[in-house]
Chains A and B, each alone.
Chain A
Amino acid sequence: MLISYNWLRELTGTTSTPREFRERLTMVGLAIDAVDELEDDSILDVEVPSNRPDCLSHIGIAREVSVIEKSKFSDPQAEISNLKYKVPRTEGKASDFTSVEIKDLDLCPRYAARIVRGVKIGPSPAWLAQRLGALGQRPINNVADITNYVLHELGQPLHAFDLAKLTEQRIIVRRAKAGEQLKTLDGVERTLDAQMLVIADAKLPVALAGIMGGEASEISEATTDVLIESAYFNPDSVRRTARQLGMDTEASRRFERGADCENVLKAQTRCVELICEIAGGVATEDAIDVYPAPLPARTVDFRPAKVESITSLRVDLSEMMRILTALGFTSGESAKGNTLTFAVPSWRADVSIEEDLVEEIARHVGYEKIASELPPSNVSGEYQPTEMKQRSLRRALKDAGFDEAINFSFIDTAHDEQFELIPGLVAEANNVGFVALKNPIIDEATRMRPTLLPGLLESVRHNLNHGIRDVRLFEIGRVFAKSDTGELPNERDALALIATGGATEEGRAQATREFDFYELKGALEAGVEAMKLGPLGFAGDSIKHLREGQSAPIYLPDGTKLGSIGRLSEAIAASYKFRQPIYVAELDLTALLESRECATQYKPLPRYPSVVRDVTLLVSRDVAFQQLRNAVDSEHIADYSGTKLVGTYEGQSIPEGKRSVTLRIEYRSDERTLRDEEVEERHRALIDSLVKKFHAELH
């Protein structure tokens, strides 16, 4: 909202400089974004809060200024509200020349029309053109400029029709008929719907109510008689129509936020006064004012003690009264006990409760006068129950070389069937109800993501496109699916990892090794271990979005399926034009965090040395390491203390379909040092058993 400093000075007699205004208005809640210094005026750009349409006018700002500058006025509010307008020459009744009918009172509770006959349309006098020009408004003609002038002065949008161009000189306020056309003043042909309120003559719409007039009834040089419209339109109706038609005008901006219904006649009188003075003509003695159901006067009960209890400010009652009175609130003489009743001025639709009045007083006393202290504390702070675990997880993944990604929560529907979703999100994997956005902002992104993977794949693509080939990312975020009951959608927290390229060292260009499945698995295990959860279980099995033979479901120790890990399928990789292997994992973090924590339990240090024996078995490639290890564990050998992998080998000298697996078996007793021979004996028995169980050969 642009405010002319000169105009403000005229209204208030202030001597403050524009700079001083910047600070003072800001501190009463009217932030000044900028002060534009013109040659002979300064223009203040005021950011008016959405609940204060009364400040979208010079009179409104002047009222605030008069409260701020109390010393300069005996009764500033009276001066402002008593502005009396005098129309020099009147003749006849408005009803002699026109008629007004409101068909939709819900959208237009009040409409007033007054006629001025015999005007001389021409350019505005210099002072008027200049004043509007300073506010960024291009001068049009004297009558149109005067309506705009009054809008800036009093905040009431007005419209002037060429009376002769209104069929039967009638005004009908009604909803448009669906498909009805209206060419607005900006030259655009508008097609209307049945929700939009229009001003019509006997036949056709002549203006979009509260937004813009029509071209057909526009004031021209040939105009002699004008009809001045002053009305109150329903804010929601104006907002809806303006949005729908993509329009935003000085008028619509004010009606949308709420004009002052009691300002209708005053503004109209002011407008007619100026027209007669500047463009000549004779006004009708009265206006047709259709206002069948006047808005009730509103009052607010106010306990002065509330000012201190809410704000901690101590304010004298007389100062409270001064502020509220200057703002236009009036109080009945009789205070009932500690309560005063204030009548709310018609321009303050935002005030309805006691707290509103407390704010009025507080902002004019000054927020800066409010003390600053911490509330007395009788509680202790607490993190979310899983926060520390999540912090450990994030840091473990970070240490493992993964950067944390955050992607938008909405993705393309093209990914709908591509991925196997985490089990916690949907009851049945093959019957997923996806959550869709009704009004997306990014065209393709209408799906609330049921998986984090498409976002991470997009991030990898972005990086590869920028020449970064070694990328490791993780993301923790919410995933969504429809609930079975049709209530609010299911929401779960998911964890996803993605890795491609090679493992690099800080400050060195060459990757030390290429990523593989085990890098990703290791990072995931490190993250889970850092939370003292797991250990996770993995089993070779196929997963929709992963490459056959390099994929595994992930399980909790109790066998609950959590998600999946593996190499991205060729089909999906090809759709992204990835030419290097991509490894991904995703799991249900909510379920993981709910799982049981591993307790730390001290075990005495070994007192006797251990004996280790390696065994290399030639087995079918289908035999998994975990099967072998489980088999060793389940032999229950005396003094057996654990198995580790030494390595696997396939290739030269190994028959097709087979591989060799070398295990290191550790034996240790808590009572004594084991003798070689006894270990040898047990080890040999173990080997025999393994050979039999897995049809293995020794290698």
Chain B
Amino acid sequence: MTAELNFEDLKPRVNAIQEVFQQKWERFRYFVLDHSDPKFIEHLKAEWRSGDSLLDMAVEAKDELERLRIELIGKKSELAALKKDVGRIRKEQRGIAGQAVNNLDIFIGNPLRDAEDQLQRLINKLRTESERIDVTLPGRRPRRGHLHPITMLRERIEDIFVGLGYAIEDGREIETDFYNFDALNIPENHPARASQDTFYTTDGFALRSQTSTVQIHAMQRRGAPVRMIAPGRVFRRDTPDPTHNPMFFQVEGLCVDRGISMAHLKGTVAEFLRRMFGPETVTRFRPSYFPFTEPSAEFDFSCFKCGGVGCRICKNSGWIELGGSGMVHPNVLRAAGVDPDVYSGFAFGLGIDRMCNLMYGLDDIRLLFENDVRFLEQFD
């Protein structure tokens, strides 16, 4: 048991601690202010000049302050020792001595802790600030590609017709005259057969000028009844210009069964166009002439842009011409091996490129096959 101490013995040590504090605190004294106080920042900048940024200065100041706190009130500090020694003071003086040491602890500790707290707040604030991001920068994702608008339309058309019970068919792009013309009831000397309008290979085969060729093959293969559409690439000898291409895409449809009438043709085309252009779409049939159908009809649909009031797209008529159709000519049925006395059918055709022009308002259809990335990127 060590000897008892007097309060007087501790006093110089208390004073000494206080002195050290007062001396070193000078460098931190403004940090008890609110960290947003201009004096706080001014002081930090003045005393911790070496830092690159305000954040560096604050971190440095805080580290230094932390060291000071440990030195002054940490576990191994003189103050800690002093606290221990209070226990050794004579009983009657112990109260007062304890009081004095406690006061010292508060006197030193509070500003130290407050300053540290404010510095930490500043650091947090600065750190958050420095890590603030621009949320409007583009999201990170690799550039994606785009499907050709003709592909997208073809798929949509196929989906609609598969839903209506149709099979999708395709066939050769180079055909014999039989499939391209004869079987379609296009007479020997019809202008369409002239090499003016149809491409021929040097071996005398034709580049198909419509995908009806596929219908003949399909009827021969499947027999009647049959329901099918044939989307595909076709060729006509047009010089490329803003409204013509020597190659384009079309869809031809065919429905052959017992008891098929023009009412079914109208119903089918109208249903397709409603699914394609919206439930408000109205379809109009006009008499026309095609060698492979009798009776024949062209169909228009109410302009999807203006709803029939008249606009640039429908040339102020309210109607957009879309395709041809009709009841399959008995000669065509016969050519495909189907008995016209038993079966009847309807057929229709429309241009995918044309739909594409309408839907997207293309002003030059040559763009469809130039594959300019700036064009392709606009779809999908």
Beta-carbon contact of B372 and A381 below 8 Å: no
Cα distance, A512 to B142, chains bound together (Å): 9
Residues 204-243 of chain A, each 1 if its beta carbon lies under 8 Å from chain B, else 0:
0000000000000000000000000000000110010001
| Residue A473 lies at the interface, judged by CB distance under 8 Å to chain B | yes
A453 within 8 A of B: no
Known: A26-B286, A309-B344. A398 touches B147 (CB 8 A): yes
A367-B287, A409-B173 are contacts. A437–B201 as well, Cβ < 8 Å? yes
Q: Is the CB of A29 within 8 A of B167?
A: no
Q: B12 an interface residue at 8 Å Cβ cutoff? A: no
**Cβ A374 vs Cβ B164 within 8 A:** yes
Q: Are A310 and B262 in contact (CB under 8 A)?
A: yes
Do B372 and A463 touch (CB < 8 A)?
yes
Which residues of A approach B to under 8 Å, CB–CB?
A: 26-29, 31, 49-52, 235-236, 239, 243, 309-313, 350, 353, 355-356, 358-359, 362-363, 367-368, 370-375, 377-384, 387, 391, 394-395, 397-410, 435-442, 448, 456, 459, 462-463, 466, 468, 470-474, 477-478, 480, 482, 486, 488-489, 491, 503-508, 512
Q: Which residue of B lies closest to A433 (CB)?
A: B203
Q: Taking the complex as formed, is B38 at the interface, i.e. its CB lies under 8 A from any CB of chain A?
A: no
A–B pairs, 23, beta carbons within 8 Å: A29-B289, A235-B189, A239-B189, A309-B344, A311-B295, A312-B263, A355-B330, A359-B294, A362-B295, A381-B164, A381-B167, A406-B150, A406-B368, A408-B369, A441-B239, A442-B246, A473-B371, A474-B145, A488-B174, A488-B176, A489-B205, A503-B142, A506-B138
* Chain A: minimal CB distance from B174 (Å): 5
Q: Are A405 and B371 touching (Cβ within 8 A)?
A: yes
What are the interface flags for B361-375 relative to A under an 8 Å C-beta threshold, 1 for contact and 0 otherwise? 000000011111110
B81 to chain A, nearest CB (A): 53
- Complex contacts, A399 vs chain B, CB 8 Å: 144-145
Closest to B270 in A: A372
Given A401-B144, A506-B141, decide whether A52 and B285 contact each other with a Cβ distance below 8 A. no
CB-CB under 8 A for A239 and B371, given A373-B264, A438-B202, A439-B199:
no
Look across to chain B and name the residue whose beta carbon is closest to the beta carbon of A405. B371
Contact A374 B371 (CB under 8 A): no
Chain A residues with Cβ below 8 Å from B261 are: 309-312
- For B191, what are the chain A residues with a Cβ–Cβ distance below 8 Å? 50, 239
Do B287 and A363 have beta carbons less than 8 Å apart?
yes
A367 touches B327 (CB 8 A): no
B233 in contact with A409 (CB, 8 Å): yes
B371 x A367 contact (CB < 8 A): no
**Cα of A371 to Cα of B227 in the assembled complex, Å:** 20
CB distance B286 to A31 under 8 Å?
yes
CA–CA, A473 and B288, complex, Å: 41
User: Quick check: is B88 within 8 A (CB to CB) of the other chain?
Assistant: no
- The B interface, classified by DSSP as helix, strand, loop or mixed, is mixed
CB of B371 within 8 A of CB of A448, answer: no
Q: Is the CB of A383 within 8 A of B158?
A: yes
Whole-angstrom distance between the Cβ of A25 and the nearest chain B Cβ: 10
- Let me know if A462 and B165 touch, CB within 8 A: no
Are the CB atoms of A373 and B263 closer together than 8 Å?
yes
With the chains together, A474 CA to B146 CA distance in Å? 10
B144–A398 contact, CB under 8 A? yes
Is B168 engaged at the interface, CB distance under 8 Å to the other chain? yes
- Among A235, A311, A407, A456, chain B packs the most CB atoms within 10 A around the CB of A311
CA distance A353 to B291 in the complex (A): 13
Q: B199 to chain A: closest CB distance in Å?
A: 6
Cβ–Cβ contact A379 & B225, under 8 A:
yes
User: Is B227's CB under 8 angstroms from A379's CB?
Assistant: yes
* Docked complex Cα distance between A198 and B197 (Å): 26
Interface set, chain B 210-266, CB cutoff 8 A to A: 225, 227, 233, 235, 237-240, 246-247, 255, 257, 259-264, 266
Contacts known (A372-B267, A374-B271); A438 close to B165, Cβ less than 8 A:
no
- Which B residues between 165 and 190 are near A, CB-CB below 8 angstroms? 165-170, 172-176, 189
B268 at the interface (CB under 8 A from A): yes
A382 to B169, CA, bound (A): 9
Q: Across the interface, do B267 and A409 meet the contact criterion of CB distance under 8 Å?
A: no
Query: Which B residues, 139 to 169, have Cβ-Cβ distances below 8 Å to chain A?
Result: 139-148, 150-151, 155, 158, 161-169
Q: Could you say which of A353, A382, A456, A472 contacts B330, with CB atoms under 8 Å apart?
A: A353
Asked if B103 is at the interface of the complex by the 8 Å CB criterion, the answer is no
